[in-house]
Amino acid sequence: MSSELTSIRSGSLSAQAFGVIKDAIFTGQIQPGEAIRELHLARSLRVSQATVREALAQLESAGLIVRQANRRTTVTSFTREEVRDRLELRMLLEERAAVLAAARASREDLAELGKLAGGIAEAIAAGDHYEHVQADIRFHRFIWALAGSAILCQTLDHLTTPLFAFLAVIHQASQRQLGTTRPHERIVKAMRGRDEAKIRAEVRAHIEGSYAEFLTSPAETVRAFVEGRIDVS
Amino acid sequence: MSSELTSIRSGSLSAQAFGVIKDAIFTGQIQPGEAIRELHLARSLRVSQATVREALAQLESAGLIVRQANRRTTVTSFTREEVRDRLELRMLLEERAAVLAAARASREDLAELGKLAGGIAEAIAAGDHYEHVQADIRFHRFIWALAGSAILCQTLDHLTTPLFAFLAVIHQASQRQLGTTRPHERIVKAMRGRDEAKIRAEVRAHIEGSYAEFLTSPAETVRAFVEGRIDVS
DNA sequence: ATATTATCGATTATCGATAATTGTGGCATA
DNA sequence: TATGCCACAATTATCGATAATCGATAATAT
């Protein structure tokens, strides 16, 4: 019956390494564009290079890092145009997901979704930047899962995970208060109403808001990560 | 100056291994659902297990194989529902890509696209199944690239690559003649006309046609790969 | 007979060490 | 001064070997 006493928080070494590095990226301990050295990481995590490489392969698959063969590995960074393109595509998919989810969601699902939206507001109120981002991800992931298409969920995950990480660091560095329009609550409300046009409009507004927040970030903060990103060597 | 005499067809060992295994999957030498053993592969490719694992990590990232931790690695197989969901999502993205591409394509681009469509017809006429699939992929990839959004291109690639591989094997096994409606030429023609509604309609028709071809594949062929895929253990 | 545990072969995960690659700075040369 | 070449340090890629894990089967107990 109740198994997994020790293993709840362990998993394979490479999976643990994956988690540690992922958190380091989301918190900005390793910043966008910064290099990751395999042997250094291996020493600091007390594992072998092979284990680190396995973790790096997964991180690359998640889009959180970029590996250049025989050269180096860096944390993913985006130009303004890349952020724009990703958000545009995200809008297309997220609209569909929200509409499908609204059609399939039970009353309990919507209640749970409301709780998740509340969790975001709480994290913001508490000033917990890391928890804010994680709660935001959980909220959206829940909608994606409700949509009932595994591939849609997976695609949105791949599309947005590196973006969440990047924007989290940008915004953390710029120390601004975000999400004051409570767009998540608005989306939940629209889904409750099951009005497709309204749902689409709220989703669009939310993502357009994200883009606006990004664009109005202090220019010097963004530039620090974005500029010189294209390797001219 | 002209370097890369030997290296043109080489690259790293893991990249070569990746290519070999990928081809084996596309040709059906390793069939959907079939297991891949790391040490066996390593011996047959004359490389170490680490190199094979690196290649497998990339193949998993491409969606061509599925790795179950501590258990085994199998070639990706899809249920009918998974094929349907993937094609539905593909339709959404492919429509957008084709519309964007048509708006940005030069006369030369469209000529090149016409050539690629012709290449597909040639491969079909020659009865070269493998080349048919590769030409098909090149055709679509060209459109995606024309769309001008790297992330859209990448997302479509991730979405469709495993699907192309799976359907190629299914259709190869069922020995049927496909693509007789020349849908690719129709798409090119619509793009030449730059009529958005027409482009969308042709793209939809093409993908719906793919799905219909899949659905009407000999049931026993599909069942061989699809059934019992869900691990009940 | 059924359920639980022990054991074994096969396979994956991890390790430590070595080989290959890349960028850099010094040095020679024009 | 500018340019090409070479050794060196740093890093990634690959190797061979060992450890850990899993599934199946055999053994045991109820």
pLDDT at B172: 87
**Above 90 in pLDDT, residue A8?**
no
The whole-angstrom distance between B89's CA and the closest CA on chain A is 7
Instruction: Answer yes or no: is B47 CB < 7 A from strand D.
Output: yes
Question: How far is Cα A94 from Cα A203, in angstroms, rounded to an integer?
Answer: 7
- Residue of A50, A86, A149 with shortest CB distance to B151: A86
Number of domains in chain B: 2
Give residue A135's domain range: 80-222
Question: How far is Cα B29 from Cα A147, in angstroms, rounded to an integer?
Answer: 36
- Of A75, A105, A126, the position where a domain reaches its end is A75
Closest among A166, A170, A226, A179 to A207, alpha carbons compared: A179
Helix residue ranges per DSSP H, B105-149? 107-125, 129-146
Same domain, A141 and A159: yes
Angle at Cα A229 formed by Cα A226 and Cα B1, nearest 5°? 165
Residue nearest to nucleotide D10 (CA to C1'): A37
Helix residue ranges per DSSP H, A46-79? 49-61
Burial class from Cβ neighbours inside 10 Å (0-12, 13-18, 19+) for residue A57 reads: buried
Same domain, A57 and A84: no
Nucleotide nearest to B46 (CA to C1'): D15
Same domain, A140 and A97: yes
Which of B64, B67, B151 should one mutate to test binding to chain A, selecting the residue with the greatest count of A CBs within 10 A?
A: B151
Segment B111-123 mean pLDDT: 96
* Mean of per-residue pLDDT scores for chain B: 91
Same domain, A105 and A86: yes
> Does A50 lie at the interface with B, CB-CB under 8 angstroms?
yes
**Above 70 in pLDDT, residue A221?**
no
Instruction: Answer yes or no: is A54 CB < 7 A from strand C.
Output: yes
**Above 50 in pLDDT, residue B3?**
no
Q: Phi/psi class of residue A82: alpha, beta or left (left: φ > 0; alpha: ψ in -120 to 50)? A: alpha
Instruction: Answer yes or no: is A71 CB < 7 A from strand C.
Output: yes
Residue with tokens 């913001």: A124
Nucleotide nearest to A46 (CA to C1'): C15
Question: Is residue A16 situated within a structural domain?
Answer: yes
Cross-chain Cβ contact B92/A96 below 8 Å: yes
Question: Is residue B227 situated within a structural domain?
Answer: no
* Residue B176 structure tokens: 């049927």
Same domain, B61 and B147: no
Helix, strand, coil in percent for chain A, rounding step 5: 70, 5, 25
Same domain, A48 and A141: no
**Above 90 in pLDDT, residue A42?**
yes
- Of B75, B90, B123, the position where a domain reaches its end is B75
Q: Find and list the nucleotides of strand D having atoms within 7 Å of a protein beta carbon.
A: 10-17, 21-24
pLDDT at A1: 38
Question: Is residue A232 situated within a structural domain?
Answer: no
Question: Is residue A49 situated within a structural domain?
Answer: yes
Specify the length of chain B in residues: 233
Same domain, B141 and B114: yes
Question: Is residue B1 situated within a structural domain?
Answer: no
Segment B73-102 mean pLDDT: 97
Same domain, B47 and B85: no
CB atoms within 10 A of CB B230: 7
Same domain, B96 and B193: yes
Same domain, A62 and A87: no
Question: Is residue A40 situated within a structural domain?
Answer: yes
Same domain, B93 and B198: yes
Specify the length of chain A in residues: 233
**Above 60 in pLDDT, residue B6?**
no
Residue with tokens 């599909």: B222
CB B203 within 8 A of CB B98: yes
pLDDT in tens, A97-154: 999 999 999 999 999 999 999 999 999 999 899 999 999 999 999 999 999 999 999 9
Classify the complex by whether its ipTM is higher than 0.95, answering yes or no: no
Burial class from Cβ neighbours inside 10 Å (0-12, 13-18, 19+) for residue A219 reads: exposed
CATH number, domain containing residue B65: 1.10.10.10
Segment B35-56 mean pLDDT: 98
Same domain, A70 and A102: no
